[in-house]
């Protein structure tokens, strides 16, 4: 049987990490895990429970209820994709809302939230054959991952991609606002005290500013083949 790998894909927001990770998983018949979706699901839970208010975040209550938040990824044959479930409810669409997006950085800075989600992520990875994308997958979650990719692209290109994506969904969007949001998230991701976004020393950088998805797939195929054939 072919060697099964753990592939970690980290990088800045709106770089196309999930699209890339999904395509790799599909091609290899691996499991794809969007770790950002897990932070988003916890954030949605906190919004619904009113743990996030004008005065700040009620960290104590969040920590107390962490063990009540169950997150699963369930395959939907209609969309041909895994969707995020929180406590048995399909939240795939709601976790992408602007409300969740604007609070998720704060929730993902809580050390106890990270500890719990990292534990969950590792438990999913024990069987290998997994592609996981996020910010700390190659540095914290799977420091021994077989392949580590660090993705980046220019701010303007990321903002344009995000703008087009939201536009296509018919959502009202303002390019400058999206651009500012991306810069703010980069700063939050790189500067949080716990598990900040960093390139692992052994990660390969992929700047996809001027690369099509096909070009990225050709690039990674070569790396995967070498890894699998190396035994």
Q: Which tokens is 122 given? A: 């590792």
Radius of gyration of the chain (CA): 17
Name the residue with tokens 């599909």. 26
- b/e map 51-65, b = 16+ CB within 10 Å: bbeeeebebeebeee
Identify which of residues 13 and 208 has a Cβ nearer to ligand DC in the complex: 13
Identify which of residues 94 and 228 has a Cβ nearer to ligand DC in the complex: 94
Least distance (Å) from ligand DC to the CB of residue 127?
20
Least distance (Å) from ligand DC to the CB of residue 108?
4
Least distance (Å) from ligand DC to the CB of residue 23?
16
Least distance (Å) from ligand DC to the CB of residue 228?
25
Identify which of residues 125 and 134 has a Cβ nearer to ligand DC in the complex: 134
Binding site residues, ligand DC, CB under 6 A: 13, 35-36, 39-40, 104-105, 108, 134-137, 185, 189
Least distance (Å) from ligand DC to the CB of residue 1?
29
Identify which of residues 3 and 184 has a Cβ nearer to ligand DC in the complex: 184
Is 154 exposed, middle or buried (CB count within 10 Å of its CB: 0-12, 13-18, 19+)? middle
Least distance (Å) from ligand DC to the CB of residue 185?
6
Beta bridge mates, 131: 7, 32
Identify which of residues 196 and 228 has a Cβ nearer to ligand DC in the complex: 196
Identify which of residues 208 and 230 has a Cβ nearer to ligand DC in the complex: 208
Beta bridge mates, 151: 11, 206
Distance separating alpha carbons of residues 5 and 154, to the nearest angstrom: 29
Give residue 35's Cα distance to chain centre. Answer: 4
Q: SS3 helix, strand, coil % of the chain, rounded to 5?
A: 50, 20, 30
- 3-class DSSP state for residue 133? strand
């Amino acid at each position: 049987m072919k060697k099964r790998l753990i592939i970690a894909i980290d990088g800045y927001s709106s770089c196309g990490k999930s699209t890339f990770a999904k395509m790799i998983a599909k091609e290899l018949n691996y499991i794809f895990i969007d770790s950002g979706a897990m932070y988003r699901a916890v954030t949605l839970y906190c919004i619904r429970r009113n743990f996030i208010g004008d005065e700040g975040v009620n960290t104590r209550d969040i920590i107390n209820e962490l063990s009540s938040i169950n997150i699963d990824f369930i395959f939907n044959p209609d969309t041909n994709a895994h969707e995020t479930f929180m406590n048995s409810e399909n939240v795939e669409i709601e976790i992408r809302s602007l409300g969740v997006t604007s609070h998720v950085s704060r929730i993902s800075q809580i050390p106890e939230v990270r500890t719990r989600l990292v534990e969950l992520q590792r438990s999913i990875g024990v069987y290998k054959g997994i592609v996981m994308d996020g910010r700390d997958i190659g540095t914290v979650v799977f420091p021994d991952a077989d392949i580590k990719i660090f993705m980046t692209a220019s701010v303007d290109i990321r903002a344009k991609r995000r703008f087009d994506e939201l536009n296509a969904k018919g959502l009202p969007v303002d390019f400058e606002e999206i651009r500012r949001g991306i810069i703010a998230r980069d700063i939050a991701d790189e500067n949080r005290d716990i598990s900040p976004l960093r390139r692992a020393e052994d990660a390969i950088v992929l700047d996809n500013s001027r690369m099509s998805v096909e070009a990225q797939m050709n690039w990674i195929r070569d790396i995967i083949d070498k890894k699998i054939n190396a035994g």
